[in-house]
Amino acid sequence: MSYAIDLPAYLRRIGFQGEAKPDAATLRALAVAHVAAIPFENLDPFLGIPVVLERRRLERKLVEFGRGGYCFEQNFVFREVLRAIGYAVQGLIARVLWQRDDDDVTAQSHMLLRIEIDGESWLADVGFGGMVLPGALRLVPLVEQASTHEPYRLLEQGGIWRMQALVRGVWQTLYRFDLQAKDDVDYVVANHYTSTFPESHFLHGLNVARTEAGRRLTLRGRDFAVHTLGGETVRRTLTDTDEILEVLEREFLLRVPQVTHLRARIDAMPLPSPGVSA
């Protein structure tokens, strides 16, 4: 039986208004609405629940159950949405370099999407956590491109591309990739590593993010931060489990799963050392 995503349900989930057409304006608008409504989150790996990349299962999680997910889950669902609207979409895979040296060799552990619109190639990525792209980029190098937050640009050398964002006046690389289209099995392998490998950071602490108009919100462990566009970052340490659960629901719009050991896992997260400020 062939799979087709419930497009009206998804559009309601992200609060998209208007006609969804396979053009550049709609692509940008969908990406902006998606990252504002569906949070990046790693609750399943954090709780010891492996992530399964089965399309209907992912749709139910992100659309019906009010959850979020990380890059493979987010971009799997977004890919199916775009195809249902009529876009030609291929998946790519990247090596994450955010807050690392540009020449580091990291695993291919991040998914992004290439979209063809009227003979022109675009990139979209609704699954990069606190620095997610709110919008879409034309696949052209050395051109500063606007998003609803920081400007982005792409660099290319010898067929290898880098995605960069202008953060506090400095161009910083998010990840490195090539343009070879990937099959789902490639993501299954990478996802298995990301969601089950004992050294994967997704297994050891909360990692939640949401990007809305003018604000990026992140929760890493007990550190809750609100990054205001053009303004200061406000941080606070959440020491109480009830407060963390409230922030997940109120600030990240996350329907917290009713899993018996969730409170125990949050309780076990390390508290900041005395005298150390977040």
Among candidate residues 6, 34, 44, 71, the one labeled active-site is 71
What count of other Cβ atoms lies within 10 Å of the Cβ of residue 70? 26
CA 192 to chain centre: 17
> Is 125 in the active site?
yes
What are the residues facing 9 on neighbouring strands?
none
Among candidate residues 34, 102, 104, 110, the one labeled active-site is 110
The string of DSSP letters for 224-259 reads EEEEETTS-EEEEE---HHHHHHHHHHTS-------
> Is 227 in the active site?
no
Cα radius of gyration (the chain): 18
C-alpha neighbours within 13 Å on the C-beta side of residue 76: 27
The sign one gets for the Cα dihedral 236, 172, 126, 133 is: positive
Which amino acid is present at 228? T
> Is 71 in the active site?
yes
Among candidate residues 34, 44, 125, 149, the one labeled active-site is 125
Tokens standing for residue 177: 């990739």
Which residues have a catalytic role annotated? 71, 110, 125
